[in-house]
Structures are given as structure tokens and as C-alpha cells.
Copies of this chain bind each other. A is one copy, B any other.
Amino acid sequence: MSEQPTAAMIVIGDEILSGRTQEKNAHHLAQVMEQIGVRLSEIRVISDDHGAIVATVNALRAEVDYVFTSGGIGPTHDDITAEAVAAAFGASIDIRDDARALLAAYYPEGELNDARLRMARIPEGAELINNPVSRAPGFKIGNVHVMAGVPSIFNAMLDGLKDSLAGGPQTLTRVLRAQAPESKLAPGIAAIDTARPEVSIGVYPYFLSGIGPGATVVLRSTNSAELDAALAEAREVARALGVEPIEESPT
């Protein structure tokens, strides 16, 4: 699946690392990347810390085709993502007229205070990312997409920009569930994985109370012929153990 573009996500937020808030955006991003044929290779959750943001943005933007950040672009003192991303690119940052105009049109007369104006600070050379929920824009600089942490806004921003991302061939997924211990499926599945390098296979155990251990076999490839062949072979691995596997919907 090496012909797919790659992506990485940076979640910026002390509230996630302290266990106060459950992170919600990464799973959604992962599903959207899967839909458009982009391989998400890494997710990092980091602190609201200037140095950590600069270092992480610079490490990941050199490694993957698309970087997405979530969090830290609101109006308060702990919203430092825009400055830090600008610093990572060596770009200047200031209130930009186009971003200010979006906020001015949204807030009632006299309500565009200094804190809100922080949300119009955009690095030099960046393109705005539309926020249909509350107008304060995200931005794209280089291959880095800077988006809100609030899930409804993150999702709306991603929805608006995803058609602009070049994807590769879509990853196709097939799922077999077999009521057999994963350790007994293991040798046969490993042989398929080795013989078919274009297919990536994961095996995940489960336990049904009163019935016993089973395993979900997830087969993934951009090559449908290879995938079908691997699926047929995986069925035979289960049948050789006296188990009729059930094909499940991949989602």
C-alpha cells in the first residue's frame, strides 16, 4: 500500500494528557483518511507547550505528506498553536485582514474583543481553512493543517477540506470472525501474510462468555484480487480447525 500518501496527526492539549478529557478527533480523522486513500502513519498527543509543538510539527511535516493538528486555536492564553506552528515554519504571524473580516461579520457590533482577535492571527503565507460552525478559521501552511480541538468544529473543517487532499488507491478491508483461539489460527494466517506481501493482516482476539475464545481476522489491501485470494485462504485456515468463519462488514 506504499502508493498511498501518508498523514500524521498532532493533538495539542494538556486536558487529554491529564486524563480530564477523552480525545475524540483522532478516530474520526483516521476514518476519513481511510476513506480517501491516505495512510495515517502516526498520532501524537502533546502538551500545550511551545517547544513541544514546534519540535513535533517540524519532525512530522518532514516525514509525511499531510499533517493535521487539533486544539489550541481559541481566544485564551493557553491557545498557542498558531504562534508555535508559525515558529516551526520561521513565518511571521499577525492579525490578518481576511480572518478579521470573517470574525467581524460573525460577532455583533462591539463584540470582537482583543481575545477574539487572537483567532485572526494567521502565519504569513498560510491559507485559511473554513469554519462553518463558529467562523474563527483554521489555516494551512505548507503541508500542515491547523484545526480546532472542539470535535464539531474539527469535523466540519475536515469535511470542508478533505476533497482538496490527493488520495491514493483506497484500502479495501475484509473481516472474518472465527470461533477459534487466535493462537490456533496463527500459523496459517502468518503463512498467508508472508506469501501475500500486498495484503496486511491483523488478528484480534475476543472472548464470548459461555462459548470461548475467538478471533477477528482483518485483511487489508489496495489490490482486490490479492485481497480476495487471501480471504479465501483465511477461510480455509479456519475450516481446517473445524470452524466455519463468518464474514463481517468491515465497519
Contact = CB atoms under 8 A, between A and B. Distances in A.
A218 B20 contact: yes
Contact of A44 (B31, B42, B48, B114): B42
Contacts of A29: 19
Interface stretch (A90-98, A122-130, A187-195, A222-230): A187-195
A190 B76 CA distance: 7
Contact of A14 (B26, B186, B189, B202): B202
Contact of A77 (B47, B173, B201, B205): B201
A19 B171 CA distance: 12
Interface in A97-143: 113-116, 118
A52 to B, nearest CB: 8
Contacts of A54: none
Nearest to A77: B190
A41 B56 CA distance: 13
Interface string A10-21: 000011111111
A233 interface: no
The A interface is mostly helix, strand or loop, or mixed, namely mixed
Interface stretch (A81-89, A161-169, A177-185): A177-185
A78 B203 contact: yes
Contacts of A42: 17, 44-47, 52
Q: How many identical chains are in the complex?
A: 2
Contacts of A76: 182-183, 185-186, 189-190, 203
Contacts of A75: 182-183, 186
B40 A17 contact: yes
Interface in A13-62: 14-23, 26-34, 39-48, 52
B46 A17 contact: no
26 contacts: A14-B200, A15-B204, A18-B40, A18-B220, A19-B27, A19-B28, A19-B31, A19-B32, A20-B251, A21-B204, A23-B26, A23-B27, A42-B46, A44-B44, A48-B202, A74-B182, A75-B182, A76-B189, A77-B186, A77-B190, A78-B193, A78-B202, A113-B183, A115-B182, A115-B187, A118-B186
The 3 lowest CB-CB distance pairs between A and B, nearest first, are A19-B30, A115-B186, A19-B31
Interface of A: 14-23, 26-34, 39-48, 52, 74-78, 113-116, 118, 150, 171, 173, 182-187, 189-190, 193-194, 200-205, 218, 220, 250-251
